[in-house]
Structures are given as C-alpha cells and as structure tokens.
Structure 1
Amino acid sequence: MAYRSFVALGDSFTEGLNDPLPEGAAQDPNGITRYRGWADRVAERLAELEPGFRYANLAVRGKLIDQIIADQVPRAIEMKPDLISFCAGGNDLLRPGSDPDRVAKKLATAVRDLRKTGAEVIMFTGTDPRDTPLMRMGRGKFAVFFMHTRAIADMYGCHLVDLWPMQSLRDPRAWSEDRLHLNAEGHRLVAAKVLDVLGVPSKDDWRKKWPPLEAVDPWTKRREDTLWLKNHVAPWIGRRIRGVSSGDGVPPKRPELAPLG
C-alpha cells in the first residue's frame, strides 16, 4: 500500500532522541535540540514512494500517556492521515506505583478512537530491559503492559512492531550514553523494522549482526556505571522530585501535516 500521509504520536522514542540531525541543524530557533529518529526515517522512505506525501510528528519527550491522549490524539484525528503511529505509556511505567493494567486501558481507548478514523495504526512493544541497570527491576511490569499492547493491537487490527525479542537492539552500541534512548544506529534499526511490518521495502535490515564486543575490565565498567548514575540517573530523579519534565515547554517538531521538503 502507498501511504500518502503519516502522523507520529508519542514521547521521546518517537520524537527521535538521541538521533542527531545533520550538523548545523540540531537546534530550532528557540534553542531546543531537535532530532531525527525512526519516525522521520520511515517518513523519508514513504515520501520516496509516494509523490505529495505529508508527515507530522507530534511526539514530545517526557510526556505521559494522559498528556499524549489529551494533546496529540485529537490533533491526529483532525488531520485524517492514512497512517498513525502511537507509542505511549513508557514514562508512566517508570513512575513508582504505576499500574500497567490501568495504563493499558487508557492505551486501548486511544487506539479505538484512532482506528475509528479509518487510519492504519502502528503500535509498539518496548525492548526487554533485562540488560539495563535499574530498568530491569521493572521488567515484570513492562512485560505485563506489552502483553496488553499485543492484545490491543490484535483487537483493533493494528500493525504491531514487537521490539521485545529484537536481538539487534540488545547490543549496547544501539543505545546512547543515557542507556534509555536509542542512538542513530538504534533508530535506523527500528525504522527498518517498522517498514518491514508495513510491507515497505527498505535498504536496511533490522536483523543486524553486530561484531563481538571488546572485553571491558570490571574497574572500567564500574567507572562507566558511576558516571551514568551521576550524569543521567541523578538529573532524572531530580526532575521527578521537582515535578518537572524534560518536555516542559518543548513544542512538537512537526506540528502540521506537510510535505517533508
């Protein structure tokens, strides 16, 4: 199928952190760092196949599912695109005391409303967090939520991009220094997976075989973990304590359905 329009909804994963744009195009006029990401990469490929293709990306880093449903879903419905990607809930599950069943109910309601427009909808499971310090403590909660996600995708006839078993994303070289967001190579692999699920030919293969990792001595690993806690985990905890988000004041990078240019 040739897609004429695509709207991407979600948080930092869909906004594209940390997949940098070409040099000189990293910041918008407001000084906000902008990124490329898997959704832009998918849109670029779809635009190659369909003249007049239009694309909007409403995703904003740090957003919770209630914010995405309130701010992004109605705008996507108004745009009436052929294709919508919807990935939400991950930031909610990182909060202590969050309930994956409750978050999944909100996800299901939003997906139902998006499908009523007649658009095809792409949904995602996340990667298995067993290799990530701290994150792996919530592995069971994430697993429950992603089982719900699979059921919702099946119920409403959505495309499902299942990242949980995707071995190419288990390699640390697919991730940025914060160990939470993909880097450019990780986003490229996800874009290839999305295109494969859509049945769209891609020059990339999401089944990448990485060369063996060089061995790291325990002291170096401990030093890297300490720096990670200091530079990434501590600021994240600080924002939670202050009740602020990395996405506060950040507008969508592509708020209108328009040609890529």
Structure 2
Amino acid sequence: MRYVALGDSFTEGVGDPSKHLPNGVRGWADRVAEGLARNQPGWEYANLAIRSKRLRHIAAEQLGPAVAMEPSLVTLYAGGNDIMDIGTRVADILSQYEALVDGLAATGAQLLLFTGYDVEVSAVLSPLRRKNHLYNDGVRRIAARHGAVVVDFATFEAYRNPRFWCPDRLHMSTAGHKFMAGQVLDLLGVPHGIAPKHKKQQPAPTWKQWGRDQYRWTADWVLPMFARKLRGVTLGDALAPRWPEPVRVPPRKGLKKLARKAQPHHRLP
C-alpha cells in the first residue's frame, strides 16, 4: 500500500506551517497519509510536490520517480500555475496534463485528480476564471476517460469561508488543508475525525479597512510575485521534495515522528 502525491504548492502543503516537518509545512496530503495509516497500518507515503512547479516540471521531475515507486494510490493537482502564466492556452495545458495522467494511469494505481477553485483574489485577475473553468471541464473529461476519481475542489462551497485561505489569497490555510484532507478521505471511504471548527462570522470590513487590506495584499504578495516572474525565478527553485522516497507512516504520532530521519530540508522563505 503506497500513496504518492504529485504537484505544486497545493500538494506540498504551503499555507499549513509546521516547523517540525520538511520544507516547514504539513498540508492535506500528509494528513491523508496519516489517515490511511491509522485506518490500515502499513501504508507508505511519498510527496514529490514542490511549490511553483508547472506541468512541464512535474512531468520532467516527478512522473518518472512516481512510476518507479509502483504506487497503489496517486493524487495529482497540477496546472494552476500554468493557467496563471500570461499567454498560455488551455488546450496546450490540457494536452500536457493528459500526457501526465496517461503515465500515472499506466501504473494501475487508483488515481485522484483535482479541479481548481475560483479563488476570490481580485477583479484584476477575473479574466483567469474562464481559463480555469475550461481547465476544470477538461480535468473532468480526462478523469472520466481514465477511470480516475475527481476531487471537485471547484464545487466545494466551504471554501467561500475566508478562514480557509492564507493572507496571499491563493493558498489554503491550515483550516483549508484540514478540510481538504477530510474530503479526500471521504472519497476514499476512509473513516476520520476531521471536522471544520465553526467560528463566529467576522463583520464585513469598512471601505477604509478594505482599501488598507488591498494595499497590503498588493505590496506583500502581488508585486513580489510579478517581480519573481520578471526575474524568471520561483519560490520552489531551492527546494527539494518533502518526502522524496516512500516512508512507512506510523499509525500513531504520524509523520512528525519521522521528520528527524528525513533528508535535510529548507524552511519556508
């Protein structure tokens, strides 16, 4: 029983910090691996995902190692960064995506594919929604052709809650990662105790607060992101996969018990 996770920051776990784990994050995939092991001891887990990776990087760097591991379960979330790149065509993105799925499906593993959520980031980025909708339709068609399970993130109403998102408005928070882990385990038919905590809804911000938040978000996240694009660098350039080789997941205490034995890793920038 071997679970292999591929993708970008979504699967790496960005937004769910943990100083005890590789790359300084935990994430939904770690939580799924732990849920599998608690339900049925003996599961092994590898996570090859690295933030900022495009489809071409995932195909070149993650597909071969994943196939060589002979997985019984594979999750793939990929393509979101390609959609956000200026000038990319959805048809080209889906062509690369299906080639990746073809390689993974050939392993005979149970395959879970994810649609992408329409993040309420800013009206400036609203044109990306059409690309995202076309991409999601393509993912569903590709999943149907390969007999894969769709984790239809795009339809999860719970993510309308701002508490499920980080200050950058693009990555899930710890609460968002926990909820996603529960959704994946539900689709796998694995019992778990993950449930969102219900907190009092915050009052709507005033216009002054909204303007201040927009300014801070632009300065802290948007401008640095475009600066990296201009320089041709990404936040994942200096990072290695969090769990590059399959590890046996302890049914108790989970992956933190193994963190000290993991390969040297980088912290969050």
Q: Does 1:222 align with 2:205?
A: no
Q: Which amino acid aligns with 1:20?
A: P
Distance 2:106 2:127 in 1: 37
Contact preservation (8 Å) 2:39, 2:190: no
Counterparts of residues 18-97 of structure 1 (less than 5 Å): 18-21=15-18, 24-25=19-20, 33-97=23-87
Q: Which amino acid aligns with 1:16?
A: G
Q: Which amino acid aligns with 1:259?
A: R
Within the candidate set 216, 222, 238, 1:233 is matched to 222
Query: Once superposed, what is the RMSD of the aligned Cα atoms?
Result: 1.5
Q: Which amino acid aligns with 2:13?
A: G
1:132 positional shift: 1.7
Contact preservation (8 Å) 1:53, 1:259: yes
1:135 positional shift: 3.3
Q: Does 1:189 align with 2:185?
A: no
Q: Does 1:10 align with 2:4?
A: no
Which residue in the other structure is 2:118 paired with? Answer: 128
Give the TM-score of the pair, scaled to structure 2.
0.89
Question: How many pairs are equivalent?
Answer: 249
1:198 positional shift: 1.3
Task: Give the 3-state SS of the residue equivalent to 2:56 in structure 1.
Answer: helix
Q: Percent identity?
A: 38
**Runs ≥4 residues deviating over 2 A:** 134-137, 208-213
Distance 2:160 2:202 in 1: 12
Output one character per residue of 1:13-59: Cα deviation in whole Å (capped at 9) or x when no partner.
000001011xx426x5xxxx420000001001001122221100000
Distance 1:49 1:232 in 2: 39
Give the TM-score of the pair, scaled to structure 1.
0.91
Distance 1:197 1:205 in 2: 15
Contact preservation (8 Å) 1:65, 1:106: yes
Q: Which runs of 5+ in 1 are unaligned?
A: none
Q: Which runs of 5+ in 2 are unaligned?
A: 250-257, 259-269
Contact preservation (8 Å) 2:39, 2:191: no
Which structure has the higher relative contact order (CA within 8 Å, separation 6+)? 2
Output one character per residue of 1:176-204: Cα deviation in whole Å (capped at 9) or x when no partner.
11111011000011111111111212222
Q: Does 1:243 align with 2:238?
A: no
Distance 1:57 1:213 in 2: 35
1:165 positional shift: 1.4
